Amino acid sequence: MDQVPLDLHPPHDPQLPPPGTPLIEIRDVRKEFGHVIALAGVSLTVRAGEVLCLLGDNGAGKSTLIKTLSGVHRPSSGTFLVEGKVASFGGPRDALNAGIATVFQDLAMIPLMSVTRNFFMGREPTQGVWPFRRVDFKQCRNVTHAEMRRIGIDVRDPDQAVGTLSGGERQCVAIARAVYFGAKVLILDEPTSALGVAQTSMVLKYINLVKSRGLGVIFITHNVRHAYAVGDSFTVLNRGRTLGTYAKNEIAMDALQNLMAGGKELQELSSELGGTV
Amino acid sequence: MSGVQIADTSRNVSPREAPGAAGQPSGPAHGAGDERLRRSSLLVKLMRRPELGAIGGLAVVLTFFAFTANGSMFTLNGLMTVLNPSAQLGIMGVAAALLMIGGEFDLSIGSMVAFAGLVLGVLLLVLHLPLLVAVIGTLVIAGGIGALNGQLVIRTRLPSFIVTLAFLFILRGLSLVGLKIATGGSTQMRGFRAVVDGSVLAPFFSGNAFGGLFRALAAHGVIEALPDGSPAAPGVPIAVVWFVLITAIATWVLLRTKLGNWIFASGGDANAARNSGVPVDMVKTGLFTLTACSAALVAVLTVFDAGSTDAMRGLQKEFQAVIAAVIGGCLLTGGYGSAIGAFFGSIIFGIVSIGLTYTGFDSDWFQVFLGAMLLIAVIFNNGLRRKVTGER
Ligand SMILES: Nc1ncnc2c1ncn2[C@@H]1O[C@H](COP(=O)(O)OP(=O)(O)OP(=O)(O)O)[C@@H](O)[C@H]1O
Ligand SMILES: [Mg+2]
């Protein structure tokens, strides 16, 4: 269990393929929930050492898409490759074992459990031999405290219940957890929606950090500035379909913003509101 | 950080906070530490423990009986008399507590005591299997039904309350019908004594433990002796030994192991747990198996103790086990509770049910006492939980 080094230009992780290698590839993935078509054929590629921003309106299918990548949903049809091999995850545990860590939009935290227990949930480090194998809670506590400080939150007490944390603090626990355990791909579903200014810039810096270590990152956000700041390429979803994928040098921020709105005329809205949007 | 994050900066952003400008490594919390950090006091730490209520309740109950019961209740012998029924309930109470923490109920464990008694009787007295095989067979069959309960709950996504309520009746009915068939019309099966007595397995499931120790202590006058020199209390009832052992293991598992973390997580929020890589279905099925096996163990203990089995064994024990778990601090909604709490909850149970016979009160006050206790425990636990865990 390696830690994220604090320096801003960490060495490329030798375990990971060279930058640019596709880590996850999906082609024409569809997902239906009964009559609801959440994904109507989506394709994208996540490459090592790159940040892919997934953009789109509410209900576009972003969360559904990343849930298929992280093993929560099985795609109804389509191709799903991890490092060039066909992948079929039976559950989130398989995805985690394949090195794909996710910050879900609902965070996947248990309010009644302590910060430490949440941090290591499903990934508990153990010591001793069976039947005396136990979790090394001292180490867990130290790691949690250190990782939370690093992201800019001083957890008053790692034994306090997550339910007692503020919404933003909770989000930081989820992000720190995913960064700590993500080995190949890090997926962040609107990770900064409740964060303060300092924490948001910290998270964006984390994304850069993780990228320079050679991981692939999928970053979902509704904030075009955040996307433009860290993204290498942008995939825009609309009503379950890929509207297009653009490299950073192919598209300007304004054009991207208009695409994100799903073609709705932002200009009009914007002038109605006095140009504040 | 609450001061900073009021402003939702993610959607309408001022250019100044654009990430490129994020030169400073972190927020105000960095370096000097959070000035609002207050080390949690011992009291808060204590309050955070779910078993606090049960220990308080035990103190209240003991005080009550110290004033009302005659002195023989508080002798060693009296203590063992109280602990034996506590243990028979508590073995199931602790298992029920684990299941409740895991977010489910099992209302079939009372009927399971009778059903497992029937199975043991059939294996032992009808099929004449060796004792060890019969005991293991009983545990396996009970565990299988527990796993079936679990799978039904998981696959149908029905509340476990309903699924196991069905098994409450199914198993009770099967016990009645089965016993009548096996015995030719009676709802009781006798004749275990002949098979059990003298077996090497018998001491594990019947009689008292530490008899030698008690005799030695009595001989040296440390504990009360009868006129003939033998100890007034012959030893620790074997059910009590199982009870303490099971509580100790359950507590260790809950607080120190991976599985314990998974149990809390599964009950706290099954979906979040699953998304974090916890094998929730496996954990829940395992817990249903465990409660069923705990009922089967109680069946074996009572059959060996009484030498007979009865279709009405374990009546209402499912509710009593849940009450013990709730008094012990388990939340009905799951994700919170303790095995030690259920341990004390069961002891409170035993003390009240047996203790009343040591007082001048009608022992039928028991049920009133029990209901009141449950109500107080639930109200107290809910308030405490809200305070300590920040439930909003
Ligand atoms: N389990 C489900 N059952 C039925 N419909 C679903 C399910 N999950 C998602 N959907 C539907 O699929 C569509 C896409 O939802 P999704 O959560 O992926 O949107 P999103 O792009 O993440 O939106 P947001 O920006 O609001 O988070 C929505 O119309 C939603 O109602
Ligand atoms: Mg979403």
Tens-digit pLDDT profile for residues A142-154: 999 998 888 888 8
Tens-digit pLDDT profile for residues B111-146: 999 999 999 999 999 999 999 999 999 999 999 999
| Per-residue confidence (pLDDT) for residue B199, from 0 to 100 | 86
With a 6 Å cutoff on the Cβ, whether A62 touches ligand 1 is: yes
Cα-Cα-Cα-Cα torsion A133, A155, B392, A193, nearest 10 degrees, comes to -110
- Give every CB contact of residue B348 below 8 A, 6+ residues apart in sequence: B54, B57, B58, B61, B324, B327, B373
Closest alpha carbon within chain B to A107: B272
* DSSP helix/strand/coil, B80: helix
The lowest-confidence range among A156-160, B272-276, B314-318, B373-377 is A156-160
Residue B116: CATH number of its domain: 1.10.3470
Contact B390 A193 (CB under 8 A): no
Q: How crowded is residue B369: how many other Cβ atoms within 10 Å of its Cβ?
A: 19
The answer to the question of residue B5 being in a domain is no
B22/B167: higher pLDDT: B167
List of chain A residues whose C-beta atoms are within 8 Å of the C-beta of residue B20: 229
Q: A75 alpha carbon to ligand 1 midpoint, in Å? A: 14
| Per-residue confidence (pLDDT) for residue B170, from 0 to 100 | 97
The answer to the question of residue B276 being in a domain is yes
Domain ranges of chain A: 2-112+182-272
How confident is the model over B200-212, as a mean pLDDT?
Answer: 89
The answer to the question of residue B167 being in a domain is yes
With a 6 Å cutoff on the Cβ, whether A97 touches ligand 1 is: no
How confident is the model over B336-347, as a mean pLDDT?
Answer: 95
The answer to the question of residue B32 being in a domain is no
| Per-residue confidence (pLDDT) for residue A119, from 0 to 100 | 95
The answer to the question of residue B58 being in a domain is yes
Measure the CA–CA gap between B323 and B49, rounded to whole angstroms: 18
Query: For the purposes of burial, counting CB atoms within 10 Å of the CB of B165, is it exposed (0-12), middle (13-18) or buried (19 or more)?
Result: middle
pTM: 0.88
- Whether B387 shows a pLDDT value over 80: the answer reads no
Atom of ligand 1 nearest to the CA of A222: 25
How confident is the model over B26-47, as a mean pLDDT?
Answer: 52
Interface test with B, best of A53, A201, A221 (most B CBs within 10 A): A201
Nearest-Cα distance to chain B for A181, in Å, is 11
Q: Which residues of A143-164 are buried (b: 16+ CB within 10 A; e: fewer)?
A: bbbebbbbbbbbbbbbbbbbbb
Closest residue to atom 2 of ligand 1, CA basis:
A33
The answer to the question of residue B20 being in a domain is no
With a 6 Å cutoff on the Cβ, whether A58 touches ligand 1 is: yes
Contact A122 B276 (CB under 8 A): yes
Q: B157 alpha carbon to ligand 2 midpoint, in Å? A: 25
Contact A166 B271 (CB under 8 A): no
| Per-residue confidence (pLDDT) for residue A101, from 0 to 100 | 93
Closest alpha carbon within chain B to A153: B29
- Whether A182 shows a pLDDT value over 90: the answer reads no
- Whether B291 shows a pLDDT value over 70: the answer reads yes
Predicted confidence band at B108 (pLDDT cuts at 50, 70, 90)? very high
Predicted confidence band at B222 (pLDDT cuts at 50, 70, 90)? confident
| Per-residue confidence (pLDDT) for residue B324, from 0 to 100 | 94
Residues in a beta bridge with A80: A26
How confident is the model over B54-71, as a mean pLDDT?
Answer: 90
Predicted confidence band at A268 (pLDDT cuts at 50, 70, 90)? low
Closest residue to atom 10 of ligand 1, CA basis:
A38
For chain B, what is the domain count? Answer: 1
Tens-digit pLDDT profile for residues A116-166: 999 999 999 999 988 899 999 999 999 999 988 888 888 878 888 898 888
Contact A92 B29 (CB under 8 A): no
A–B interface: beta-carbon pairs under 8 A: 199
Whether residue A52 contacts residue A216, with contact meaning beta carbons closer than 8 Å, is answered with yes
| Per-residue confidence (pLDDT) for residue A244, from 0 to 100 | 87
- Whether B35 shows a pLDDT value over 60: the answer reads no
Closest residue to atom 1 of ligand 1, CA basis:
A33
Contact B389 A122 (CB under 8 A): no
- Give every CB contact of residue B40 below 8 A, 6+ residues apart in sequence: A156, A157, A159, A160
* Chain B touched by A93 (CB under 8 Å): yes
Closest residue to atom 7 of ligand 1, CA basis:
A33
Q: Euclidean distance between the first and final Cα of chain B, in Å? A: 18
| Per-residue confidence (pLDDT) for residue A273, from 0 to 100 | 63
Print the domain residue range for B291.
Answer: 50-389
Here the ipTM equals 0.88
DSSP structural state of residue A194: T
- Percent of chain B past pLDDT 90, that is, above it, reads 60
How far, CA to CA in Å, does B20 sit from each of A213, A253, B158, B269? 19, 15, 51, 37
Tens-digit pLDDT profile for residues B63-104: 999 999 888 888 888 899 999 999 999 999 999 999 999 999
| Per-residue confidence (pLDDT) for residue B150, from 0 to 100 | 97
* DSSP helix/strand/coil, A128: coil
Pick from A92, A112, A165: which is nearest to B335 by CB? A112
List of chain A residues whose C-beta atoms are within 8 Å of the C-beta of residue B336: 112
Closest alpha carbon within chain B to A181: B276
- Whether B17 shows a pLDDT value over 60: the answer reads no
- Whether B225 shows a pLDDT value over 90: the answer reads no
The correct CATH number of A2-112+182-272 out of 1.10.600.10, 3.40.50.300, 3.30.360.10, 2.60.120.260 is: 3.40.50.300
Nearest-Cα distance to chain A for B274, in Å, is 7
| Per-residue confidence (pLDDT) for residue B388, from 0 to 100 | 62
Closest alpha carbon within chain A to B390: A164
Measure the CA–CA gap between A202 and A210, rounded to whole angstroms: 12
| Per-residue confidence (pLDDT) for residue A8, from 0 to 100 | 45
| Per-residue confidence (pLDDT) for residue A262, from 0 to 100 | 60
- Whether A30 shows a pLDDT value over 90: the answer reads yes
